[in-house]
Amino acid sequence: MINSMRVVVVLLSALLLASCSEPDILLADGKFSRFSHWEGRWIVVNYWAEWCAPCRKEIPELNRLHAERNSTGVVVLGVNYDALEGETLLNLVKEMDIRFPVLVNDPRLRWNVEQPSVLPTTLFINPDGELHKVAQGPQTYESLSRTLGLTTEG
């Protein structure tokens, strides 16, 4: 009887811990991730929209930063301002040649940030998981690198 009670207590504890764990993050490509996978790294969260010309101009800069993730450790994530989902979002990501992961759900409340009123808007999350900076307007590779401390120029 005591052994069966222990099993029940262990199972209930495991279920409670699992329900308190960090929720999965759905990506546009249908895969899942978690912010805890990126602990200790800079995270760049970029808000973009199809109709935003400066966003289109900025995407290659973000693609370049994303391409260097193995050497810099920086995580680049996108958020579609219009909250598109499914095939519509996936097709748009392909059409706009976005090469970094795009989140289906907006994570801004995690850092107590209001919905952007200017596009593009970029959040810089430091390796401690705290909001470091909110940048409005298009960023260049150089401005992104400066904010992330990857370069000391200008």
pLDDT in tens, 11-37: 544 444 444 466 789 999 999 999 999
Query: Residue 19: what pLDDT?
Result: 43
Query: Residue 23: what pLDDT?
Result: 73
Query: Residue 42: what pLDDT?
Result: 98
Q: How far is CA 138 from CA 18, 20, 143, in A?
A: 40, 37, 9
Best CA proximity match to 78, nearest among 108, 53, 114: 108
Residue with the two structure tokens 């101009």: 57
pTM across the whole model:
0.84
pLDDT in tens, 40-72: 999 999 999 999 999 999 999 999 999 999 999
Best CA proximity match to 106, nearest among 82, 138, 130: 82
pLDDT mean across residues, the chain: 89
pLDDT in tens, 102-116: 999 999 999 999 999
Question: Are the C-beta atoms of residues 144 and 65 closer than 8 Å to each other?
Answer: yes
- Which residue segments constitute the domains of the chain, with CATH numbers given? 24-148 (3.40.30.10)
Query: Residue 151: what pLDDT?
Result: 82
Query: Residue 2: what pLDDT?
Result: 61
Distance CA 33, CA 25 (A): 5
